[in-house]
Chain A
Amino acid sequence: MSQLSIQHLSKAFGHTAILRDINLEVEQGSFLTLLGPSGCGKTTLLRIIAGLEQADQGRIQAGERAFVDCAAGVELPVQQRRLGFVFQDYGLWPHMSVADNVAFPLQMARVRRHDIAVRVREVLTAVRLQQHADKLPEKLSGGQKQRVSIARALAAKPGLILFDEPLSNLDANLREELGQEIRLLSKQLGLTCINVTHDRREAQILSDQIALMKDGLCHQLGAPEQLFRAPVDLWAARFLDAGNILPAATVMGEPQGTAQQVLVPRGAFRLAEDAPLQAAVISSLYIEDRYEVTASLDGHLVKVFTHQLLQQGQPIRLAVDHQQVLSYTAD
Chain B
Amino acid sequence: MFQLVLSQWQTQRSRWLAPALLWLAIVLLVVIVGLPVLAILLYALFPHINEWSLAEPFSALLPTLADGQLLSATVNSLRLSAAVTLLSCLLALPLAYQRNRMSDRSGRWWDALLMVPFLIPPYIGSMAWMQLLQVKGFSEQLLGFNLAPYLYSFPGIVSVMALHLFPMIYFAASNALRVVGHRYGDVARVFGAQPWQIFSCIYLPLVLPSLVSSCLIVFILSIEEFGTPEILGNRFGFHVIVTAIHDKFSDWPIDLPGASVLSLILIIIALAAYLLQRHISERFSANLDQQVVNPPPLRRSLLARTLTQLLFAMVAMLAVVLPLLSICLSALMNTLSGGLHWRNLSLQPLLRLFDGDGDAWAAMSTSLSLALMAACCTVLIALLVAFAVVRLRARATVLLDFLSILPNAIPGMAIAVGLILTWNQRFWPLTPYNTSLILLLAYVCLMLPYPIRMLSAALCQLPRSLDDAAYISGASELTVICRILAPLLAPVALAAGFIVFAISTRELVSSIMLAPPGVETVATYVFHQFDQGSINAGMAMSLVTILVSGSIIVCGQRLQGRVRP
Q: Give the B-binding residues of A (Cβ under 8 A).
A: 50-52, 77-85, 87-95, 104-106, 108-112, 115, 118-119, 149, 152, 156
Contact = CB atoms under 8 A, between A and B. Distances in A.
10 contacts: A51-B472, A79-B475, A82-B474, A90-B465, A92-B466, A94-B565, A95-B488, A104-B475, A108-B475, A118-B1
A91 B484 CA distance: 11
A93 B471 contact: no
B2 A115 contact: yes
B38 interface: no
A79 B5 CA distance: 12
Interface of B: 1-2, 4-6, 10-11, 14-15, 463, 465-466, 468-476, 479, 484, 487-488, 565
Given A85-B468, A109-B4, A112-B2, A77 B11 contact: yes
Contacts of A87: 465, 468-469
B472 A83 contact: yes
Q: Which of A50, A93, A106 has the most CB of B within 10 A?
A: A93
Contact of A80 (B2, B11, B484, B488): B11
A80 B474 contact: yes
A106 B484 CA distance: 15
A84 B5 CA distance: 17
B466 A91 contact: yes
B479 A108 contact: yes
A124 B4 CA distance: 21
Closest 8 CB pairs between A and B?
A91-B465, A108-B474, A105-B473, A91-B469, A87-B465, A111-B2, A109-B4, A85-B472
Nearest to A116: B2
Judged by DSSP, the binding face of B is helix
B468 A80 contact: no
Given A87-B469, A94-B488, A105-B474, A82 B4 contact: yes
A162 to B, nearest CB: 8
Nearest to B15: A77
A51 B468 CA distance: 10
Contacts, number: 85
Contact of B471 (A79, A89, A111, A156): A79
A80 B472 contact: no
B461 to A, nearest CB: 11
B473 A93 contact: no
Contacts of A95: 487-488
A80 B470 contact: no
A54 to B, nearest CB: 12
A319 B487 CA distance: 67
B473 A104 contact: yes
Nearest to A90: B465
Contacts of B474: 79-80, 82, 105, 108-109, 156
Contacts of A78: 471-472
A77 B473 CA distance: 12
A264 B145 CA distance: 99
Contacts of A112: 2
Nearest to A82: B4
Contacts of B4: 82, 109, 156
B488 A89 contact: no
A183 to B, nearest CB: 22
A222 B411 CA distance: 66
A106 to B, nearest CB: 7
A119 B479 contact: no
Given A77-B11, A79-B14, A89-B463, A108 B473 contact: yes
B131 to A, nearest CB: 51
Nearest to B486: A95
B10 A80 contact: yes
B1 A119 contact: yes
A211 to B, nearest CB: 22
A93 B465 contact: no
A89 B465 contact: yes
A156 B6 contact: no
Given A52-B471, A152-B469, 7 more contacts: A78-B472, A79-B14, A91-B463, A91-B466, A93-B484, A109-B4, A119-B1
B465 to A, nearest CB: 3
A51 B475 CA distance: 13
A17 to B, nearest CB: 21
Contacts of A79: 6, 10, 14, 471-472, 474-476
B468 A52 contact: yes
A77 B472 CA distance: 9
Given A79-B475, A95-B487, A104 B468 contact: no
A115 B463 contact: no
A158 to B, nearest CB: 9
B470 A109 contact: no
B11 A109 contact: no
A83 to B, nearest CB: 6
Contacts of B6: 79-80
B19 to A, nearest CB: 14
A80 B487 CA distance: 25
A90 to B, nearest CB: 7
A78 B488 CA distance: 23
A111 B4 CA distance: 8
Contacts of A119: 1-2
Nearest to A164: B465
Q: Which of B1, B5, B472, B487 has the most CB of A within 10 A?
A: B472
Contacts of A109: 2, 4-5, 474
A115 B11 CA distance: 25
Contacts of A94: 488, 565
Contacts of B471: 51-52, 78-79
Contacts of B565: 94
Contacts of A108: 473-475, 479
A82 B565 CA distance: 29
B420 to A, nearest CB: 44
A83 B472 CA distance: 6
A242 B482 CA distance: 50
Contacts of B488: 93-95
Q: Which of B2, B15, B484 has the most CB of A within 10 A?
A: B2
Nearest to B467: A91
Contact of A110 (B5, B463, B472): B5
Contacts of B465: 87-91
